[in-house]
């Protein structure tokens, strides 16, 4: 089929290369001219396993091309809208980019075309788009995306489910044909249910992690081990073992903004969603937990401390620092007077503007970041941190306490190197 994709970010680019790989003639349009040039040259602007290879092969085969012009989508039968829907200051989702894209598609596409809303949009958005396209012969359906950054290509190829929210069976059938779904469960429902199901899923993941973080705090106080508690909970299939890992808090470009947007939808409709609000409070409180743990465990005051932040991205496997707990908590530490130096294995690929706006002095060497540190905080679960020479680090920062928010390191090895170790939800821990 002739496929269009609007937005060449994590979702759009992944969708475009995977659809092109399946043989669909795919055109991906983005308003960022530099990004279009980079992609046309075969360079992946984001760090996703398998992406460079797929980009190269689909460009070579001619099944994929990039453009800055919406006119190049004119002949497309199906167009996926994958543009950002960031938070406004009041928490609501800003759908300006979706509106702009739909306006362009309205002017460009032929009757019979299907516009697919892959961006995460508030309930009612797809229905608004359907109304806007009324009389043009162009249909619109909701098809929320569930991919995870750092597993984007894998998730596109092996989705748990494909969600189609449609008011129009023909449009839903066309979309199902594009996916050619095989064994994957296809869930069809109204656009409103599909839109809400996406927010509900992300918010549930956030609630689950916040619960794990609260339990971790309790574990360290009562002498329990959160890994054992989570192991038992996860063995119950009704609970499931995923998303029970404590950490510095959940971040990234989606869970924070989507929980805020869901609360906003609740507020507008007189529903409180207290569980989601509480999960967000717990998440914000992670900074206080870490500040308190450092204040209690370091030899000197936080106001004059040197702190090394190990890991700056919001999770391992990505160079994305959007809404990263590492940056948020480091900024808090700096606001209390600490000097924070940060290291990340993907430093070179991290957005430098965001780093410059933070209070972190970033260095491309873990040993340099840790030099003379009073504390080393492991924020991101990069496996590389396990392989560092902890004896060398102890030699350069003999008084440092290691606060391992991800329970990544081997406590015995850290202690053996001569450093104090605190795990998250462990004894000793915080």
- Contact positions vs ligand UGA (CB under 6 A): 120, 145-149, 202, 205, 209, 243-245, 247, 250-252, 254-255, 314-315
Terminal alpha carbon distance of the chain: 55
The answer to whether the annotation marks 322 as part of a ligand binding site is yes
Residue with Cβ nearer ligand NAD (72 or 168): 72
The listed partner (ligand NAD, ligand UGA, none) that binds 30, CB under 5 to 8 Å by sort, is ligand NAD
- Closest approach, Cβ 84 to ligand NAD, in A, equals 4
Nearest in space to 2 (alpha carbons), one of 112, 142, 152: 112
338 close to 306: Cβ distance less than 8 angstroms: yes
- The three-state DSSP-derived secondary structure of the chain is CEEEEECCCHHHHHHHHHHHHCCCEEEEECCCHHHHHHHHCCCCCCCCCCHHHHHHHHHHHCCEEEECCHHHHCCCCEEEECCCCCECCCCCECCHHHHHHHHHHHHHCCCCCEEEECCCCCCCHHHHHHHHCCCCCCEEEECCCCCCCCCHHHHHHCCCEEEEECCCHHHHHHHHHHHCCCCCEEEEECHHHHHHHHHHHHHHHHHHHHHHHHHHHHHHHHCCCHHHHHHHHHCCCCCCCCCCCCCCCCCCCCHHHHHHHHHHHHHHCCCCCHHHHHHHHHHHHHHHHHHHHHHHHCCCCHHHCEEEEECCCCCCCCCCCCCCHHHHHHHHHHHCCCEEEEECCCHHHCCHHHHHHCCCEECCCHHHHHCCCCEEEECCCCHHHHHCCHHHHHHHCCCCEEEECCCCCCHHHHHHCCCEEEECCCCCEC
Residues 130-159 that bind ligand NAD (CB under 6 A): 145, 147, 149
Binding mask 90-129 for ligand NAD (x = CB under 6 A): -------x--xx-----------------xx---------
Residue 254 known to be catalytic: yes
CA distance 424 to 116: 42
Q: Pick what 209 binds: ligand UGA, ligand NAD, none; C-beta below 5 to 8 Å, kind-dependent.
A: ligand UGA
- The entry of ligand NAD, ligand UGA, none near residue 314 (CB within 5 to 8 angstroms by kind) is ligand UGA
For the bound state, the minimum distance from the C-beta of residue 300 to ligand UGA, rounded and expressed in Å, comes to 29
Nearer to ligand NAD, 189 or 233 (CB): 189
255 is in an annotated binding site: no
The annotation status of 257 as a binding-site residue, yes or no, is yes
Closest separation between CB of residue 209 and ligand UGA, Å?
4
Smallest separation, CB 25 to ligand UGA (Å): 26
Q: Residue of minimal CB distance from ligand NAD?
A: 9
35 is in an annotated binding site: yes
Residue 243 assigned to a binding site:
yes
The binder of ligand NAD chosen from 9, 234, 266, 285 (CB under 6 A): 9
**In the complex, residue closest to ligand UGA by CB:** 254
CB nearer to ligand UGA: pick between 65 and 198: 198
Binders of ligand NAD among residues 48 to 87 (CB under 6 A) are 82-85
- Which residue number, 306 or 315, has a Cβ lying nearer to ligand UGA? 315
Interface with ligand NAD includes 195 (CB under 6 A)?
no
For residues 84 and 317, which CB has a smaller minimum distance to ligand NAD in the complex? Answer: 84
Write down the least CB distance from residue 423 to ligand UGA, Å.
14
CB of 161 to ligand UGA, least distance (A): 11
Question: What are the catalytic residues?
Answer: 254
What are the residues binding ligand NAD (CB under 6 A)?
A: 6-12, 29-32, 35, 82-85, 97, 100-101, 119-120, 145, 147, 149, 253-254
């Amino acid at each position: 089929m002739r496929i269009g994709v609007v937005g060449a970010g994590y979702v759009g680019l992944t969708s475009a290369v995977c659809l092109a790989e399946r043989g669909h003639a795919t055109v991906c349009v983005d308003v960022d001219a530099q990004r279009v040039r980079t992609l046309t040259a075969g360079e992946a602007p984001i760090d996703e396993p398998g992406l460079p290879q797929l980009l190269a092969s689909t460009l070579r085969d001619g099944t994929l091309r990039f453009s800055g012009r919406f006119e190049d989508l004119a002949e497309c039968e199906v167009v996926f809208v994958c543009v950002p829907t960031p938070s406004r200051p009041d928490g609501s989702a800003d759908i300006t980019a979706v509106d702009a894209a739909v306006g362009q598609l309205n002017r460009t596409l032929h009757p019979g075309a299907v516009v697919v809303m892959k961006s995460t949009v508030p309930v009612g958005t797809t229905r608004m788009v359907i109304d806007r396209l009324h009389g043009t012969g162009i249909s619109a359906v909701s098809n929320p995306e569930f991919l995870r950054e750092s597993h984007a290509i894998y998730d596109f190829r092996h989705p748990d489910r494909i969600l189609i929210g449609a008011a129009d069976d023909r449009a839903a059938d066309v979309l199902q044909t594009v996916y050619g779904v095989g064994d994957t469960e296809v869930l069809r429902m109204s656009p409103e249910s599909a839109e809400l199901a996406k927010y509900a899923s992300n918010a549930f993941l956030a609630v689950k992690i916040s619960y794990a973080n609260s339990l971790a705090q309790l574990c360290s106080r009562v002498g329990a081990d959160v890994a054992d508690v989570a192991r038992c909970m996860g063995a119950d299939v009704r609970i499931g073992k995923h998303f029970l890992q404590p950490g510095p808090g959940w971040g990234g470009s989606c869970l924070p903004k989507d929980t805020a947007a869901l609360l906003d939808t609740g507020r507008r409709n007189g529903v409180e969603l207290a569980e989601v609000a509480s999960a967000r409070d717990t998440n914000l409180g992670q900074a206080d937990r870490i500040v308190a743990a450092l204040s209690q465990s370091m030899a000197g005051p936080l106001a004059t401390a040197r702190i090394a932040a190990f890991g700056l991205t919001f999770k391992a496997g990505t160079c994305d620092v959007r809404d990263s707990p590492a940056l948020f908590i480091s900024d808090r530490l700096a606001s209390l007077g600490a000097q924070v130096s940060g290291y990340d294995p993907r430093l070179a690929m991290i957005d430098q503007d965001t780093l410059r706006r933070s209070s972190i002095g970033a260095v491309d060497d873990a040993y340099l970041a840790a030099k003379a540190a009073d504390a080393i905080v492991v924020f991101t679960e990069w496996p590389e941190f396990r392989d560092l020479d902890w004896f060398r680090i102890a030699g350069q920062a003999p008084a440092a306490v290691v606060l391992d928010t991800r329970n990544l390191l081997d406590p015995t090895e850290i202690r053996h190197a001569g450093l104090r170790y605190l795990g998250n939800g462990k004894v000793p821990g915080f």
